Structures are given as structure tokens and as C-alpha cells.
Amino acid sequence: MVSSEGLCGSSPPAAAPMTQYGVTKPISMAGPTEADILRSRDLEKFLVEAGLYEINEESSSREEVLGRIQEIVTNWVKQLTHLRGYTDQMVEDANAVIFTFGSYRLGVHGPGSDIDTLCVGPSYVNREEDFFFVLHNILAEREEVTELQPVPDAHVPVMKFKFNGIPIDLLYASISHLVVPHDLDISDMSVLYNVDEPTVRSLNGCRVADQILKLVPNVEHFRTTLRCLKFWAKRRGVYSNVTGFLGGVNWALLVARICQLYPNAVPSMLVSRFFRVYTQWRWPNPVMLCAIEDGLGFSVWDPRKNHRDRTHHMPIITPSYPCMNSSYNVSTSTLRVMMEQFQYGNSICEKIELNRAKWSALFEPYLFFQSYTNYLQVDILAADADDLRSWKGWVESRLRQLTLLIERDTYGKLQCHPYPQEYVDASKPSAHCAFFMGLQRKQGEIIHEGHQFDIRGSVDEFRHSINMYMFWKPGMEIYVSHVRRKQLPAYVHPDDYKCSRNLRLTSHQQFYKLSRNNGVAYQTESAEKCLKRKKDLDGENSEQHRLVKQRSPDRDQSGSPEIISHKLSSNSTGCSTSGLDETNGFAGANASSNSSGISSCSHEDIGNESTAGSSEGSNGGYDNLLSSRSDSYDDLKSSVEDEHADKNRVLQDGLPKELRAKYGGWCCSKVHEWSCRCRVCEESLDKVEFGINGLT
């Protein structure tokens, strides 16, 4: 919370230390004005009213839980010491120590937040068997422990659970001591002697948290500012390390650096300077709280020596040895999203400083589902809630790979915006959750007419990596599908949200039909031309003129023959557009954990999405033009009939009304190319046709 100290005058305190914090001199030593003091008090009041501070009873419960966990791990180590034949004196002295890190250690945790904990044990108690099996079984037998989920393959191996309803993330580090002292100084370099890389990463969380608190000029101001910006990041959808944004330690390091650059500033000033500085930061220049030191031979972040470090887009370096980049998950797409949000925050703070806005404006939620025209929907299903918890954790930890694969395969021209919030469809009979990604063409890219983004290979590679889950159980499935904004499922919107669910074909859509004889793709005329031709042929009553086939005149320009051939080899149905001057699109995908059926499509309006999620920098003029062109042909309907009726292969032009609003795509048909589970009826069928969500 904002301290009253340092808020009572317009000049820096007379006794302000002259110590330089950080690797450079401060930008400004100026203290707060009366207006800054008032804004800081208003900010503190807003944070309290937002419920970001927990009450004393909750704090006491957390301390009690930590004490119980300390008792459990101590008995666990004593039990293992006895089983391994050590002397009675060794069994009596055997010990493990619980440390905290993250938001709890930094003092910025709130109601319901988890406690990041580290168990430090002796050298003869290992992580692979003793921690993830023996201790896991001990915890599983306790009534207080629920939702127990081990994640041994994570970058930092962790065991997640709830103890008396309080979420706990428990790490383990085995140090080179036969007996762990009760007063172990985890900041001492000696704890890193003779340990492996996963242990170093586990120890680093506590070491970094302690170092951050030592490197900021005013801990209370740091805490208030960090609490504010973490809340802002969650509201704006950029708080999630696992999906490629920034997690708690990343935000703490960014805020700590601003505190170093403005050592006498109060929270309202620090929040404003945060956005001002980072909107102008020239990434990938690193953010560092102190100089990078070398020591025991562990690898430290150094792009001059390590080629991989040169690929980092937003390096935020930890202050304790070995110094690492804490934000290696950030991709070009997620960096773009965060920079847009920094610009948004900066513009709001400028208005607040001019008394043209209040703090509540800064925390307006990001309207993700009104910000893009095209989305990828990742559905995760399991037999029950326990299976879903572990299956979801595995899939979520690899969603970032899907973003990277799409960026790689489209050469950065198709940008992804993964949204960290999960959604649940309560109407499904099995346990379910879903994640979404916004898709848009890179702004400023010149796209040739008819150009397609083929992401089927990206989705298929992602699916194969998901299938490597060693704890897979029957019922664990994943589906990746493309949906348009109007086809988004109802459960992603608030209860009071109203939107028009028009799933009919627009003028931006036309279809490829596959010739079974020669494997050549033919393209129908654009929807606009089809509508005109239909009017011209109203009096002819000729069925053969309902759809006029022609070879695409831009086929050689829109993609190489090899790419087209690859698309056709999937035996999938696709769509393409050529109605406007600038066309682009992507190949959408449906994938299951067993097999995949993927269709390609091309949309002109991808990349020209509205920015309804942000009140700043709207590209509304061109967006409105595209929207008006699209809506002018909303009444157009089209259907595709396969040439081989004798095979009973029928692609339906939509779902029944009650299912169309729910799924918004192609329904089951009588013949299939892939053996998988039907997304509509949820039954495993022998003959299923999957088409891309978004064709209608």
C-alpha cells in the first residue's frame, strides 16, 4: 500500500540516499508534487476497492498452511533417511526447509492467489522418485490436499495442489548438504555447488525475489506499483508467462527497473513512467537491475556467446546468479500485443495526469472477442475433472508452440494473439475447456490476390507434440478449429452480451472443388459474381448454370504448385477469396488427438480487424469499409455438392439451427477421410466429415 512517508512534500526527502540503483544513473531524482500525492492516494483507494488486498484472517490461514507443509516435508525427509539406513542421529537431524517466492515473498499477493514455495532438501533425496512419487503419494492421502497435479516435465518441475483451499506451487531443490540447516541462507552462492540445471532454476525463484527487494529504493512504493500493474496486465490480457506474455517475476523486474530510474517517485508517478519508458524501449535491449556476473560455470544470458540468446525478443534479466532471461517465452506476436497495450496505458496515464480521466479508465478490460475477425479455437476435453486438470496443464504449456509454429510457417506474416483466459462449455457431457487465439495479417504486408496462409502443417506438428503426453488416458482429446467472430460460442461472452450470429456466406468466400480424376483444384467465381449471374439466369431454369467453374486466373500468383499440391493431397475442402483488391487468408484446421482433418481457406478481411479492444489507435475507417462490403452480401447463401454422389459424400451447407449457433461449422456427413470423433454429436463415428469452422 502507499506509505504516507515521502508523500508530504513537493521535493525529495532531505535524507534520501545517494546510492545509485541499477546499471545506469536515474533518469530523474524529482519527488512528488501535491497533485502526484493526491493521485497516489486515489490509486491506493482504487486498488483497495478492487479487492486486491487480503484480510488478516486470510493472511493467518496462509501462514498456518505453510507451517503444515513444513511439517509434512520434514517428516518425509526423516522417513527417507530412515529407509536408506542412515544412523538414528542422522534421522533425528534430517530436515527440509520451505521457502517462498513470487508474489507472496514480494508482498503483492491478493485474495485467492497461490503461494509459490520451494522445498530445499538434502543431497540424498532426489526429485524424480522421492519428490514426484513418494511425497506425491503422501500428499494424495491427506484430506486437506485437493487437485494434486505433478508437472515433472516443466522447465521448472513443479507439483501443484490446494491445501485447505489455498493454491500451492511446490518446487524441490536437492543441495549438496547431508543436513539442511534451519537457517539456510539461500542467497549465498554456496547453495549452487554441485547441483544440476533444474535445481538451479528451482532455487533461482527465491534468490531473485530476495535480490529484487534489495535493489529497489522504496519497497512499499515498489509493492503498490507492482500490485497496480499486475492487475492492469490481467485486465488487458497480457499476464501469462506460459502463453508467451509476462508472468509475475517479469512484471516485478520491469517495475523494479522503473523504481531505480525514478528513486524518489511515488506510485502514481511510477505507473505513468512505466508506460512512458516501455513504449519507447528499444527491444531487444535487455532490462537489467544489476550487472551480469559470472561465477560457477553455469550458463548466463550473453547474446555475444550464446546464439539462442540472440533470438530473444524481450529480454528481462534476473538479478541473481546465474542471470537468465526470464521472458524467453515472448514471441514477435505477443511482443506486438504488449507494445500495443503499453501504448494504450500510456495514453490513459497522460489523460489522468491532465485530470481528463480517472484510474478506473486504465483498468478497462480488453475486448478480445471484438478485436479480431478470425480466431483459432482450441478445445480440450477429458473424461472427468481430474483428467482435464492434468491434460489442460500439458496442452496449455505447449500452446505457445502453436504460436511459434504459425509465425515460422507464415514467415511472420500471420500474427497470433493467444488469449490467456480459459473458457468452459458447461453444456458438454465431458469435462471441457477452451482457449482462443486472435489471427490477423501483419500490418503493412503486401499480399497478392488470392494468397493463402496454410497453417495445416503447423497445427499437425502441434498435434503431434501434444500426443507425446506420457500420462494420456482415454477421453483426453484436443480439437483445433478456425472460427469467425460471428461464430464464436456463446459461453465466451458475458450473460448480458448480445450479438448477431449470422453464419451465412459472405462475398469474401468462394470454394475450391477437388477433381477426383486429375487432382486439380477448380475455383468457383466470387460470391459477388455468382449473385449477379444468378440474377441473369433466373429465367433459364437451368441447374447446370447454378455454379460456374473456372480455373483460378491468379493461381500461379497466389502460391507455388507445390503448395497447392500439398493442400490438395489432404483431400480437404477449402475456400478462397478474390472479391477485393487486397486478399489474404489462412488455412484453418480441425485436429483431434488421434487424427486431423484440415481445410484451407482464404479471407480478404483477415488483418483488417477492428480494434474494439482498445480505445486508442483505431483503424476504424478501413475496417468499416470492409465491414460494409461484407455485410452487403449477408443474404447470399451457397452450398457445395460433391461430384461423387454414388459415394454418398455430402458436404452440408450449415448445421441445424440449434447446433449452428453452438458450433458454427460443417456438420457430420456420410463419408470421411479421417477416423475421429464428431464435434457435433460427440460420438465416435466410422464416417465423419470435418470442415473448417468459418466457411459459413
- Let me know if 403 is exposed, middle or buried by CB neighbors in 10 A (0-12, 13-18, 19+): buried
Residue 451 near residue 558 (C-beta atoms within 8 A): yes
Q: What is the pLDDT of residue 342?
A: 98
Q: Among the listed ranges 129-138, 256-265, 438-447, 640-649, which one has the minimum average pLDDT value? A: 640-649
Q: Do the strands 115-121 and 166-174 form a parallel or antiparallel pair, or are they unpaired?
A: parallel
pLDDT in tens, 22-35: 899 999 999 999 99
Render the burial of 327-344: b for 16+ CB within 10 Å, e for the rest.
Answer: bbbbbbbbbbbbebbbbb
Task: Tell me the pTM.
Answer: 0.71
Which of 240-244, 641-645, 656-660, 661-665 shows the highest mean pLDDT?
240-244
Q: Compute the distance between CA of residue 6 and CA of residue 264 in angstroms, rounded to an integer.
A: 8
Q: What is the pLDDT of residue 393?
A: 87
For residue 118, CA distances in Å to 70, 143, 204, 240 come to: 10, 22, 10, 21
**Of 591 and 565, the one with more pLDDT:** 591
Helix (H) or strand (E) holding 106: helix 102-106
By three-state DSSP, how is residue 141 classified?
coil
By three-state DSSP, how is residue 381 classified?
strand
Mean pLDDT of 612-633: 35
What is the distance, to the nearest Å, from the Cα of residue 424 to the centroid of all Cα atoms in its chain? 16
Q: Among the listed ranges 164-178, 393-407, 531-545, which one has the minimum average pLDDT value? A: 531-545
Counting residues of the chain whose pLDDT is more than 90, the rounded percentage is 57
Distance separating the N- and C-terminal Cα atoms of the chain: 52
- Let me know if 205 is exposed, middle or buried by CB neighbors in 10 A (0-12, 13-18, 19+): buried
For the chain, count helices (H), then strands (E). Answer: 18, 15
For residue 257, CA distances in Å to 171, 346, 358 come to: 27, 17, 25
Q: What is the pLDDT of residue 18?
A: 57
Mean pLDDT of 404-429: 91
Residue 254 near residue 274 (C-beta atoms within 8 A): yes
What is the distance, to the nearest Å, from the Cα of residue 74 to the centroid of all Cα atoms in its chain? 36
Nearest 5°: the CA angle 674, 566, 684 is 10
Mean pLDDT of 445-456: 76
> What contacts 18, CB < 8 A, 6 or more positions away?
none
689 pLDDT more than 60: no
By three-state DSSP, how is residue 206 classified?
helix
Q: What is the pLDDT of residue 497?
A: 60
Confidence band of 511 (pLDDT split at 50, 70, 90): very low
pLDDT in tens, 267-278: 999 999 999 999
505 pLDDT more than 80: no
Which of 209-218, 600-609, 640-649 shows the highest mean pLDDT?
209-218
For residue 535, CA distances in Å to 25, 542, 543 come to: 74, 12, 14
**Of 374 and 510, the one with more pLDDT:** 374
pLDDT in tens, 62-92: 999 999 999 999 999 999 999 999 999 999 9
* The three cell numbers locating residue 502: 449470422
508 pLDDT more than 90: no
Helix (H) or strand (E) holding 438: strand 431-441
**Of 345 and 597, the one with more pLDDT:** 345
Q: Compute the distance between CA of residue 640 and CA of residue 540 in angstroms, rounded to an integer.
A: 21
pLDDT in tens, 198-246: 999 999 999 999 999 999 999 999 999 999 999 999 999 999 998 999 9
Q: What is the pLDDT of residue 509?
A: 29
* The three cell numbers locating residue 202: 528451482
pLDDT in tens, 155-168: 889 999 999 999 99
Helix (H) or strand (E) holding 439: strand 431-441
**Of 42 and 640, the one with more pLDDT:** 42
Q: Compute the distance between CA of residue 288 and CA of residue 24 in angstroms, rounded to an integer.
A: 10
318 pLDDT more than 60: yes
Q: What is the pLDDT of residue 447?
A: 66
Q: Compute the distance between CA of residue 424 and CA of residue 436 in angstroms, rounded to an integer.
A: 12
Nearest 5°: the CA angle 390, 393, 396 is 150
Q: What is the pLDDT of residue 493?
A: 87
Counting residues of the chain whose pLDDT is more than 70, the rounded percentage is 68
288 pLDDT more than 60: yes
By three-state DSSP, how is residue 37 classified?
helix
Specify the residue for cell string 555447488: 193
Confidence band of 293 (pLDDT split at 50, 70, 90): confident
> What contacts 666, CB < 8 A, 6 or more positions away?
573, 651, 652, 655, 689, 690, 691, 692, 693, 695, 696
Q: What is the DSSP string of 147-168?
A: EEEEETTSSS-EEEEEETTEEE
Which of 203-212, 403-412, 502-511, 654-663 shows the highest mean pLDDT?
203-212
Specify the residue for cell string 449457433: 661
310 pLDDT more than 80: yes
Helix (H) or strand (E) holding 657: helix 657-663
Catalytic residues: 103, 114, 116, 169, 230, 239
Whole-number average pLDDT of the chain: 75
Helix (H) or strand (E) holding 57: helix 56-83
Q: What is the pLDDT of residue 426?
A: 85
Mean pLDDT of 639-656: 32
Q: What is the pLDDT of residue 149?
A: 87
Q: What is the pLDDT of residue 449?
A: 65
Residue 352 near residue 359 (C-beta atoms within 8 A): yes
Q: What is the pLDDT of residue 525?
A: 34
Q: What is the pLDDT of residue 20?
A: 80
327 pLDDT more than 80: yes
Q: What does the radius of gyration of the chain's CA atoms come to, in whole angstroms?
A: 28
41 pLDDT more than 90: yes
Q: Compute the distance between CA of residue 108 and CA of residue 267 in angstroms, rounded to an integer.
A: 14
Confidence band of 251 (pLDDT split at 50, 70, 90): very high
Q: What is the DSSP string of 250-307?
A: HHHHHHHHHHHHSTT--HHHHHHHHHHHHTS--TTSPB-SS-----SS-----TTT-T
Q: What is the pLDDT of residue 450?
A: 66
Is the bond preceding residue 284 a cis peptide, omega within 30 degrees? Answer: yes
Helix, strand, coil shares of the chain, percent, nearest 5, are 35, 15, 50
Q: Which domains are present in the chain?
A: 55-215 (3.30.460.10), 368-443+454-491 (3.30.70.590)
> CB 525: neighbour CB atoms within 10 A?
17
639 pLDDT more than 60: no
- The backbone torsions φ and ψ at residue 101, rounded to the nearest 5 degrees and listed phi first, read -150, -170
Q: Compute the distance between CA of residue 501 and CA of residue 660 in angstroms, rounded to an integer.
A: 9
Mean pLDDT of 167-192: 94
Nearest to 586 by CA among 331, 333, 374: 374
Q: What is the pLDDT of residue 434?
A: 96
DSSP conformation class of 646: G
